[in-house]
Each structure stands twice: as structure tokens, then as C-alpha cells.
Amino acid sequence: MLRFIICIYFFGLLFNASAQPIKIDTIKIPPSQRFNQIQSNKMNFPLIKTSNPKIDSLINHGIKNTYTNNEYINSSIDSAIIKWADDQIVFLDFVVTYCQNNIISLNISAEGCGAYCSDWTEYFNYSTLTGKLLNLNDVVDTTSGFRKLVYAQAKAQYDKNDAELKALLHDKTAPLDSATYTWALQEYTTCRQTVNLQTFALYPTYLQLIEDCPLPNAIKALSPVIELKYNYANIKKYLKIKP
């Protein structure tokens, strides 16, 4: 007999993507007993339901395989997530940010604990007509002026973070020494040379590129904040979709 009962229930989300309603159910994952002092009660994984079982399978197995780094390709979705989360994940939850015009955009966040705890978020964008995982170029023309727009905005924000870090170094009340400043600045420089044009999320009124520059745990508090948001009205000439 199974030690845990896995409950899949209607999460209360119902979207209208063109003529077909899209339901998002939730797989409830049993908590880790190892971390009962810090275990969150949020242990949820999404299950997308269209009116087409083939599309459902493509989307849900695609999300499961990506999120578990293809460790459990031949396992069912619920059993794969339970095995993956067992004894290490203390938080798991998702947010659907966009579901219309035959596209669903969602992100899944998790926190895992080993020698220390770390958190992360993965972003997914799928066609609910084909079950295809969408890349940014499916949504917006990245070969034109949009790319220049993104790079210019990213550069401006990294420059601002550089200046704020330098100001912190000269602030006598701030606990930042020159060695830590140099270390953090080197990390900033590496990140700004590889601005990400792959990870993105759709929202009802805007597109967001996810530019993450995670610093090593010892200086994680100095991680730069880069926000790349584009209202659909302002990038209309580059869009390939109807927002």
C-alpha cells in the first residue's frame, strides 16, 4: 500500500484560450519529514488540462521532464515529482501568468535544502494548440530592433547596479570591504556579458524577460536587480502573437 495518497484536485483556475477552456489542476506533494522545522505547506505542482489528451501529455510531461532534469522520463508525472522532491524540497508552488490566445505561460518555484537551502524558479510557455514549448522568437522578432532594445535596457540597469555597489563601498556604515566589492563586480561583469534572451514570461499586458544574475551564497545579498518588462503596446511592431 502506498505510504502517501496523492490528491489531484481542481485548483479553481479556469481560463478561456480561444474556444477551448484550459483547466489547471494541482498535484499535492507530501512534505519532507527531514525538514519539518522549516517545511512549507506549499507543495504544489501544476497539471494542465485542455480538451485534447495528446496536447495535455506533451505539455505536462514536457514540464515534468524539464523541471526534474530528465531524471524520470518514463515515470508518471505524480510519481516523478514525488521521487524528485523526496527528502530535499521544502517549498514547491506555481503561478499561471497568462492563458489566452492559445498560449499558457506559467512559472514554478521551489526551495531545496541540503548543506544549505537555495531557491529557484523555472518559466514555461506552451502553445495549447500544438503542445509545443515556445521560445522567445515564437512570440517576438528577436532578430530586429527588439534585441537592441533589450541589450540597451539591460546595460543601463547593470550600470546602475555597478554605481550602487560602488556607493556602498564608500559608505562607511555599510559592511562592504574592497575584496567583496571586487568579487561582486566581477560577477556583475560576467552576467552582463551573457544577457539572457531565452527565459521569458507572458502577462496580460506585458512581456517580461527573466535576467537573473545569482551571486555565490556568500555574497548573494549583493545580487543585482535587472527588470526587463515590455508593454505589448510599446513593442507591437515586433510581436508575432496577438496579446
The per-residue pLDDT for range 134-144, each reduced to its tens digit, is: 999 999 999 88
The structure's pTM equals 0.87
**Which residues make Cβ contacts (< 8 Å) with residue 118, sequence separation at least 6?**
111, 112, 217
What pLDDT is stored for residue 55 in this prediction? 97
Share above pLDDT 70 across residues of the chain, in percent, rounded to a whole number: 92
Is the predicted pLDDT of residue 67 greater than 70, yes or no?
yes
pLDDT digits (tens, 9 = 90+) for 186-241: 999 999 998 888 999 999 999 999 999 989 989 999 999 999 999 999 999 999 99
pLDDT tens figures, 18-33: 446 899 999 999 887 7
Q: Please tell me the predicted confidence (pLDDT) of residue 7.
A: 38
What is residue 87's predicted lDDT score, i.e. its pLDDT? 76
Q: Would you state the cell numbers that stand for residue 84, as one nine-digit string?
A: 524528485
Q: How many secondary structure helices (H) and strands (E) does the chain include?
A: 5, 9
Mean pLDDT of 55-77: 95
**Residue range(s) occupied by CATH 3.30.565.40 in the chain:** 8-134
For residue 15, the model assigns a pLDDT of 52
pLDDT at 6: 38
Contacts 24+ apart (CB under 8 A), 229-233: 230/149, 230/206, 231/205, 231/206, 232/205, 232/206, 232/207
What DSSP character marks residue 38?
T
CATH of segment(s) 8-134: 3.30.565.40
Nearest to 155 by CA among 233, 226, 232: 226
Instruction: Give the pLDDT of residue 243.
Output: 81
pLDDT tens digits along 78-133 = 999 999 998 789 999 999 999 999 999 999 999 998 778 889 999 999 999 999 99
Amino acid in position 106: L
Tell me the average pLDDT across 144-165.
Answer: 95
Q: How far apart are CA 123 and CA 203, in angstroms?
A: 12
Q: CA–CA distance from 178 to each of 150, 157, 170, 171, 219 (Å)?
A: 31, 22, 9, 12, 13
